[in-house]
Structure 1
């Protein structure tokens, strides 16, 4: 009798094929992941390019770069214009140049103590803007918040999730960085009615304790001609360092204070660690540890106050190898994490040491 042939695969043959497929997937997966990260890094660069151009448009309109705002007790107010009179952050001041005029105008012409203004302010503070989020770090949406003391627009303290920013303005190698709890206090008005006193306060003149050397800081109005080192040689806005523990939440078990300080409020709060970083803060308690201010890749905190302060002071990113930085001429470059500290510091200053006031030279 003729026997029919069995054309099926044997078990051994199937296992061999599966093993080969598994090996091929394992070989291809890193390449696919690398390609995706390269695309995200390019998108991040493009976003910084947009922000850089928005800053230049701000200069064309007002004659100076956006101001850093009044401090962490205030958020942006559409009725207070631009520059020193604007209590909110640089993020707010460039909204109109990012095709977000409708968002920036929320509350315009309204009584700042009315229900209508409260509703407008709430919408502005909770609406995320894609360009402010690095795609390698987190999605563009609202995130949990831990507010400090808020004046005037006190209702924002009831907001549980707010719009945030993964980018920070260059404050320089400031003698004191943002906020009021480290290195001395930046004066903030007790209310809008106290602004007559405010106009005499600044961190710009060389004879002040809080003298700052960057381009966007406490109540700043820096014109391009004052950037002596050149627009193409001076940092403008870069990615900020964050602890991986606070990507999704800033309030929880195991999250240290310094881990959350650099991302605990929102994108529109005044001069604060959330939206400003320095290349070195030589007058602070940890002035002898410049490595704290060195650009670095995101990592988890170490429950070490000295080392974890980097999350409130330093530039950094979720990318490996380096972070993206926009310069004052609108160009964007990748800054390697191993950049020499003095070069990094020099790039953050709007003038070199020869032009620095002698009182604050080192």
Structure 2
């Protein structure tokens, strides 16, 4: 019709608010998916780091016919002699550096002297450095390499000592593993005593005990694949203990760089775990990161196995399933949960 005016229809305020609400809902739905995808990528990266670590340990075994130690330890105070001690203190991770193509760092460390020695060597300079993220899980806070920290730690054994109690300043409420044995949630392994071999993991301490001028060697020094009778695919080598140097308990920040948390440096012989405590009623992982198994992955932790594979372990799995993965010769039947 000639002369008719076209009416331009605009959005009403109500319509505009509805559109904005729909967009807001879509964003709210999308963000968790994006965050989940990012965490999945970070977890995959973390698993790749742990696989490289396990393969380095297997290459070490191929070259030396034994698994690397969890650490080299010497009982007693700091060494004051002018000649090297009978065994210098080092973490087993230091021995794996050549198999990470970090031979330059390895070559600079004088393994006759302790990792933090600065009197007879330059060890402290070369061991207190960032290793370019190969030992850090990307799911944790960034910029921690400057603390020469590792997120991947060996666990040498299960400790049965009913007298030990969690330090509730830095540990979650719970109790010693002995309680789980008494309640039959964990096997007694034939009424094994503390430090019996049946409670051992693959990665052990190379330890010397000194009494005056007498030096005795620990009899757990060498572990070969043949001693892992439970199977390489059913025994772990390294676990996550992430977030250092900060201390976390059940997701809650407690402290930073505390004297209670001095076991986090990748070169230190003290950066080795033992299974000692549970939290809640029977939980063994993700209780605390103070020398305990802990990750920032929702629902569980990564573990590198002795066959070079990596698996994700759910933190609500039975305590016996974890212990069966810890022991290398426990003759228990592991049930995949």
- 8 A Cα contact 1:133 1:167, kept in partner: yes
Cα RMSD over matched residues?
4.0
Shift of 1:106: 1.9
Task: Give yes or no for the alignment of 1:276 onto 2:254.
Answer: no
Task: Give yes or no for the alignment of 1:351 onto 2:329.
Answer: yes
Equivalence for 2:152: 167
Shift of 1:233: 1.5
Instruction: Decide which of 309, 314, 320 is 1:336's aligned counterpart.
Output: 314
Q: Give the secondary structure class of the aligned counterpart of 2:290.
A: helix
Distance 2:141 2:72 in 1: 26
Distance 2:101 2:286 in 1: 31
Distance 2:280 2:96 in 1: 31
Task: Give yes or no for the alignment of 1:228 onto 2:229.
Answer: yes
- 8 A Cα contact 2:247 2:254, kept in partner: no
Q: Deviations over 1:72-103 (max 9, x none)?
A: 978xxxxx9xxx94521122111111111112
Q: 1:110 to 1:261 in 2, by over 3 A?
A: closer
Instruction: Decide which of 121, 124, 127 is 2:130's aligned counterpart.
Output: 127
Shift of 1:65: 1.4
The TM-score with structure 2 as length reference comes to: 0.67
Equivalence for 1:267: 266
Equivalence for 1:255: 255
Shift of 1:262: 4.6
Shift of 1:71: 6.1
The TM-score with structure 1 as length reference comes to: 0.63
Distance 1:21 1:31 in 2: 16
- 8 A Cα contact 2:118 2:124, kept in partner: no
Instruction: Decide which of 281, 294, 301 is 1:316's aligned counterpart.
Output: 294
Q: Give the secondary structure class of the aligned counterpart of 2:298.
A: coil
Distance 2:111 2:329 in 1: 40
Matches within 5 A, 1:86-105: 87-105=89-107
Q: Give the secondary structure class of the aligned counterpart of 2:302.
A: strand
Q: 1:21 to 1:239 in 2, by over 3 A?
A: same
Equivalence for 2:180: none
Shift of 1:221: 2.8
Matches within 5 A, 1:298-313: 310-313=288-291
Q: Give the secondary structure class of the aligned counterpart of 1:334.
A: strand
- 8 A Cα contact 2:140 2:242, kept in partner: no
- 8 A Cα contact 1:69 1:87, kept in partner: yes
> Structure 1 stretches of 5 or more lacking a match?
75-79, 143-160, 177-181, 183-207, 248-252, 299-309, 355-362
Shift of 1:130: 1.3
Distance 1:103 1:331 in 2: 26
State which structure, 1 or 2, has the greater radius of gyration over its C-alpha atoms: 2
Distance 1:319 1:256 in 2: 21
Q: Give the secondary structure class of the aligned counterpart of 2:307.
A: coil
Structure having the higher helix fraction is 1
- 8 A Cα contact 1:234 1:327, kept in partner: yes
Q: 1:317 to 1:351 in 2, by over 3 A?
A: same
- 8 A Cα contact 1:246 1:260, kept in partner: no
Distance 2:291 2:254 in 1: 21
Q: 1:254 to 1:50 in 2, by over 3 A?
A: closer
Distance 1:109 1:210 in 2: 27
Task: Give yes or no for the alignment of 1:29 onto 2:31.
Answer: yes
What count of residue pairs does the alignment treat as equivalent? 273
- 8 A Cα contact 1:133 1:166, kept in partner: yes
Distance 1:222 1:48 in 2: 20
Instruction: Decide which of 285, 292, 299 is 1:296's aligned counterpart.
Output: 285
Q: Give the secondary structure class of the aligned counterpart of 2:134.
A: helix
Structure having the higher strand fraction is 2
